[in-house]
Amino acid sequence: MANWASLVDYVNRNYKIADQNDTMVKLIFNTGDLRSQVIFVWKSSLMNGAEEWVTFESPFAEIAQVDLGTVLKEASNLVCGGLGLVGSMLTLRHSVPLQNARSQ
């Protein structure tokens, strides 16, 4: 069974971390053509901390530059994820319980 510490250890061994604190890891992936994608990995919990979860969140567009109806329709089939708004940036979020993840 994985926990936050083992997940962070795995990320440290396999990816270049741009920033990190006790509850967040920030990754930046170069996608070519001078573009990049930021992914935040957040420590989350449910049931007053009894269940440890991890949330992956990535900004993908400024809210003023997209048709929000289209974005909501595209995201409507997500099971454990959704959309967020951080400042003027829309983010895509996906959460999973750490108890179901394998330790590496």
Per-residue pLDDT of the chain (104 residues; tens, 9 = 90+): 688 999 999 999 999 999 999 999 999 999 988 899 999 999 988 778 778 999 999 999 999 999 999 999 999 988 888 999 999 999 999 999 988 776 65
The strand pairing partners of 94, in sequence order, are 56, 81
Residue for token digits 């270049």?
A: 16
**How many angstroms separate the CA atoms of 82 and 37, rounded?**
18
Of 98, 63, 69, the closest CA to residue 84 belongs to: 63
pLDDT of 100 reads 72
Neighbours of 43 (CB within 10 A): 19
The strand pairing partners of 90, in sequence order, are 61, 85
4-100 CATH pick, 1.10.287, 3.30.1460, 1.10.10, 3.30.70: 3.30.1460
Extents of the domains making up the chain: 4-100
pTM of the model: 0.86
What's the one-letter identity of residue 45?
A: S
**How many angstroms separate the CA atoms of 25 and 40, rounded?**
6
